[in-house]
Structure 1
Amino acid sequence: MNRIEGQISGIQVSGSLSLVSVDCKGILLKSIIIDTPDTSDYLATGTKVQLLFKETEIVIAKPGVREISLQNRILAVISAIKQGDLLCSVILESDLGTLEAIISTNAVADLSLQPGIEVLAMIKLNEIMLSPC
């Protein structure tokens, strides 16, 4: 499980859903959750939280991707690739720390991924869970 610490910088509410913006060392990440400030005490601007997401929820792209709906984008450098027959563990170093992505071995080959290459790690809004610190 990937874990990143940050501070809630904004909350938009619609019905029982909240779009929570979190400042993580100057990088803005967002999560959509089924909770509101009325139902969860920790949902307040300034609250420190952990963002949690599975290794399988990271999409990797080479920099330059412009038109895509994924809003959470973290610039990173591949530090290692642990290759398996079907899946690979791709270790990424970013300003937010070390992240791990699990993608198909075919995708690693198709993108010519290797250590030292700069990539974008992208995560869908609904795949990030929030936990108060």
Structure 2
Amino acid sequence: MNSLRATVDAVRTVDALSIVYASHSTMKLQSMLLDVDPTVRIGASVELLFKENEVLLASIDSRLSARNAFVGRIVDAHIGILLASVTITAGDTTITSIVTRDAWEYLDLAIDQEVQWCIKSNEVSLRLC
């Protein structure tokens, strides 16, 4: 599980659906949540949680609809028969992505390569700190 400490910048809510906007380091992230905790408000300290298999990888020049898209560098990878566990750094942040080995090979990824990493906003959970 990836965990990023962040500060809530804004919360937009319509009915039971909320989008929480938060900052971690130089990154601006979004989390789409149902029935958000009322204590989640501007300035709150939170952890943004997302599973390794929810982190998408893309080549640097790809355009995506995902709002949580950042550039990082592959610093480690463990390539298995079916899956590849890829460690990426972006500034002072380290996250892990699990992709299929086919995807690793299709994207022609390698250690020390820059990649785009993305998380759909509905896949980011939030925990108050």
TM range (shorter): over 0.9
Do the aligned partners of residues 96 and 14 (structure 1) sit closer, same or farther apart at CA in structure 2, a change above 3 Å counting? Answer: farther
Q: Report Cα offsets for 1:110-131 as digits up to 9, x if no partner.
A: 1110100000110001100000
Q: Which residue of 2 aligns with 1:49?
A: 46
CA drift at 1:98: 1.2
TM-score with structure 1 length normalisation? 0.93
Structure 2: state its 5+ residue gaps.
none
Do the aligned partners of residues 33 and 96 (structure 1) sit closer, same or farther apart at CA in structure 2, a change above 3 Å counting? Answer: farther
Q: How does 1:3-42 map to 2 (within 5 A)?
A: 3-36=3-36, 40-42=37-39
The one-letter code sitting in structure 1 at the alignment partner of 2:91 is D
How many correspondences in the alignment?
129
CA drift at 1:27: 1.2
CA drift at 1:106: 0.8
How far apart, in 2, do the equivalents of 1:27 and 1:75 lie? 10
How far apart, in 1, do the equivalents of 2:69 and 2:91 lie? 12
Q: How does 1:30-109 map to 2 (within 5 A)?
A: 30-36=30-36, 40-66=37-63, 68-109=64-105
How far apart, in 2, do the equivalents of 1:131 and 1:96 lie? 21
Q: Report Cα offsets for 1:34-68 as digits up to 9, x if no partner.
A: 124xxx232110001000000000000011222x2
Given that 1:51 and 1:130 are in contact with CA atoms closer than 8 Å, whether structure 2 keeps it comes out as: yes
How far apart, in 2, do the equivalents of 1:16 and 1:41 lie? 11
Q: Does 1:122 align with 2:118?
A: yes
TM-score with structure 2 length normalisation? 0.95
Q: Which runs of 4+ in 1 moved over 3 A?
A: none
SS at match of 2:111: coil
Q: Report Cα offsets for 1:9-32 as digits up to 9, x if no partner.
A: 011110011100001112110001
Provide the identity percentage. Answer: 30
